[in-house]
Every structure is written in structure tokens, then in C-alpha cells.
Amino acid sequence: MALVTTTAAFAQDARLRSLDSVDDGRAWEAVGRLDIDGTGFCTGALIAPDLVLTAAHCLFNKVSKERINHETVEFLAGWRNGRASAYRKVRRAVVHPEYVYDDAASSIRVRNDIALLELERPIRNTTVTPFATAARPKKGDRVGVVSYAKDRSEAPSLQEVCGVLARQEGVLVMTCNVDFGSSGAPIFTFEQGIPRIVSVVSAKAEVEGTKVALGTALTEPLEQLKAALAAGEGVFQPAGPVVKRVSVGGTRNDTGAKFVKP
């Protein structure tokens, strides 16, 4: 990954702000924590009353490399301080057809690291409004992210301003602050003051010692996933004994960038 980072790009970033009050979190109730059978979590966001967008690797077990049973996953919309606006189990789940969990860490894996979850019942709560999506931003554009993470698992945090450093091979390289648990978190643009999802957090990385966030492609992959659900796909088919733990890890590819799935 050939990337030149500048101090100025990071200096313009906003600080993370905890959305731990009702007023602060009101506009972000459609972002939720995805609990994986009580042993791990990711972040996801509603894009329809019954559809949650997240990262594909959240549905895989690191040790076995197999898909986990998505029926053990629960979406906690607007989870904050022990309560959620809605609780839903997952009925079906599809991942990008070209995503390979056991593949070497690369731009190919990152850009395809996207999954769509169909909830057992739509969320019709008037305080939980699904987000629209938009075309991915360009280098130099400003974006934001709402995510949970290992040290902020009880309430989401908002970073309203971070930057797009590059858009390479379908991957967004951003200055956004992400950590373990942020996988699947929505990346937003705020054109005309309206948040629209343009990417999903796939990994955090280090490029020449600088920490960055990596985001997936969205528009075309999302249409593929919607078509797969419409065709009746997404029913869990166990390949062997179900392993109920999701964890995260990292490796290094031959570009010198250290990829870590948050």
C-alpha cells in the first residue's frame, strides 16, 4: 500500500465523543452493537427496518475459519448503558461472494469484507430510523464514524470528522479512530447535514507507523447482497461443529501495512 500520510490531515480530525446520553445518541439509534453469542461483539447499522450492514469477518471464527451460526448473533439497536431501543436476533445472513476469511490480509479481502443481516422481525420503533447509503467519498473528503469498541462497549462513540487519505483498489484509507469491536461500523458522509453510509469499517492498519482505518467498497457489493437475500440465500448451513466464539487478530502482508481486524 503506497500511502503518504501528513500530520495536517490528522490535525483536522474531531475527537471521539461518547454518545452515552439520550440526547447525544438520539440521531444514532440505528447504529447498534452486534453481540456474538455473548462472547464477542462488532458494530452494525440498520439500512432498512430488517437489514443490518456490518463486516463479513464478524461472522467467522478465527480458529476454525468457519462461518459461525448467525442465529447466535443479536442486534442491540442504540445500545447504551445496559439498554437498547430494540433487540433482534438474526434470521439470515449473507457475505460478499468473493470474501475469503482465510485469505492473506490484502486490499482484496478488505474491500469485500461486507455482510448483510436480515433480522427475525423488522424494527418499527419510531426512534430508530434506518440510514440511507451513498456513493463512496473521494480522497480529501471528510467523513465520520459511529462505533463501539473494547474500551467503549457500553455506549457508541461518534467521531464526526475524519479524513479520507486514499481510495485504492476499492479500499478507503481513513484517519478515523477505530479499535477492536469497531468492525462493521458505518462510515458516514454528512452532505446537507444528513448522515449517509458510504463504507463499513473492515480493519485498522499501520502504514509507516501511522494508524489508519480501512473501509470496504459499498454500492455494488451491497446490491449483490440484497439480491442474494431476495433469492432466498443466507440460511445457515453448518460445515461441522458450531464454534461459538468470534475473535480478532492480525497479520502482515507484503506491502508493509499491518492489518488488524478491529
What cell does 21 get? 446520553
Q: What is the pLDDT of residue 3?
A: 52
Of 191, 183, 97, 196, the residue nearest 148 (C-alpha): 183
pLDDT at 194: 96
The pTM for the full model equals 0.88
pLDDT at 8: 54
Q: Which domains does the chain have, with CATH numbers?
A: 7-232+252-260 (2.40.10.120)
User: At residue 82, what are phi and psi to the nearest 5 degrees?
Assistant: 90, 0
Q: What is the pLDDT of residues 147-157, one digit of tens each?
A: 999 999 999 99
What are the Cα distances from residue 27, in Å, to 23, 71, 83, 133, 218?
8, 28, 16, 16, 22
Low-confidence stretches of the chain (pLDDT beneath 50): 1-2, 4, 241-257
